[in-house]
Amino acid sequence: MTVNPAHTAPWTAPHASGAVDATVHVPGSKSVTNRALVLAALASEPGWVRRPLRSRDTLLMAAALRAMGVGIEEGVGPDGTGETWRVIPAALHGPATIDVGNAGTVMRFLPPVAALADGPVRFDGDPRSYERPLNGVIDALRALGARIDDDGRGALPLTVHGGGALDGGPVSIDASSSSQFVSALLLSAPRFNQGVEVRHIGSTLPSLPHIRMTVDMLRAIGAQVDTPESGGEADVWRVTPGALLGRDLTVEPDLSNAQPFLAAALVTGGKVVIPDWPLRTTQPGDRLREIFTEMGGSCELNERGLEFTGSGAIHGIDVDLSEVGELTPGIAAVAALADSPSTLRGVAHLRLHETDRLAALTKEINELGGDVTETADGLQIRPRPLHGGVFHTYDDHRMATAGAIIGLAVDGVQIENVATTAKTLPDFPDLWTGMLGN
């Protein structure tokens, strides 16, 4: 794990002078936007993605689909309000080169799409992307009839030699390191000749809400999906081949990106309102209502959105985050400021995310005077008085927002490369200072 030396101008995290009282409009969900783009690209007719997130990860996804022949027109929606992208499906083709950046959704969701293209599609990305596992997708696609050159790495860079179609059928995978392996196969499966039957054979399956999100979005555009939740076999998902409909899909606010703002209410004993919080959602970030309430806040979901209020006290927590691992950095930051110890469990897979998040959180919080210990599958956090210093991000957006949370209560915290938040949360520094009234 290395610090990027190119980012030499740390951002001084604002220190809260009192309780926050703000309404924060959180941009759209990256997870929903990128799934919607893939599904619209594979549909049998044009569709729309309304209120998409415009961030590094989503722009990489749009550019990748365009490289394979898909039309994506950016503008206002059919009703003349709000940004909407019109997606025009086309015959997928190579040769193409795709830059995945360090986006898990791009590097994992698009090789199955590339297998449907006519011609070679090369995938490359940031140096860190080479370290992130892709074997679950690569091995599964080979079993389903695809030809892939990866020089045996099970990782980037690689080339998918698309044949214009893919047989599909039954396949067993170990998705213990990422639920995205399952979602990747399900998203393209309606276009496979035999659909797909994905059987997970690993010991654990993290981030199940993200698989449920994939299934719900597939069904919304006409796919037939049989899941464990709908009476199917445990750890088996079946998708029937068939045409996908062009639809007008609206992207929900990114609830995981709402986390630092809700944490601000908790840390400062203030109140934050997040408009348009959905009444029903598969986003993992919805668990924040429960987790942050247990840590000392209270919330109400009403016509204004989600209203979250801090009590002025922060309590430690013992929590299994296996289904909502992406929330771990923000929870760890709040836990470092609590009045009692915390245990965060079920997140060993975070060692394979944008960076090794468990090692990074331990190092950065401890360098500010904290007492964090890694466990086999999580973190033990014993609160201690913290002091200022540089908080490194390792090019990881959630590390940057975790540092900003600590900075609310600890004067002199400087975030190295706060610009990495543009991966999923554009304009974070402005949103953050605006929340504080600065």
Q: What are the residue numbers of the active site? A: 326
- Fill in the DSSP letter of residue 112: H
Bond before 95 cis per omega within 30 degrees: yes
- Fill in the DSSP letter of residue 393: -
What are the b/e assignments for 324-356, b being 16+ CB within 10 Å?
A: bbbbbbbbbbbbbbbeeebebbbbbbbbbbbbb
Instruction: Say which amino acid occupies 88.
Output: I
Q: Exposed/middle/buried for 229, CB within 10 Å: 0-12, 13-18, 19+? A: exposed
Q: What span, in angstroms and rounded, lies between the C-alpha atoms of 54 and 63?
A: 12
How distant is the alpha carbon of residue 327 from its chain centre? 10
Query: Which ranges in 144-201 belong to alpha helices (H)?
Result: 180-188
Torsion angle of the four alpha carbons 354, 359, 360, 362, in this order, in degrees rounded to the nearest 10: 150
- Fill in the DSSP letter of residue 51: S
Q: Minimal CA–CA distance to 387: which of 18, 20, 15?
A: 15
With a CB cutoff of 8 Å and minimum separation 6, the contacts of 113 are 38, 41, 42, 65, 68, 92, 187, 188
Instruction: Identify whether the C-beta of residue 230 lies closer than 8 Å to the C-beta of residue 28.
Output: no
Bond before 157 cis per omega within 30 degrees: yes
What are 401-404's contacts with CB under 8 Å, separation 24+? 401/257, 401/259, 401/260, 401/329, 401/330, 401/425, 401/428, 402/260, 402/329, 402/330, 402/332, 402/333, 402/361, 402/364, 403/13, 403/333, 403/364, 404/13, 404/14, 404/260, 404/428, 404/432
Residue that the structure tokens 């080169």 belong to: 97
Q: What span, in angstroms and rounded, lies between the C-alpha atoms of 261 and 267?
A: 10
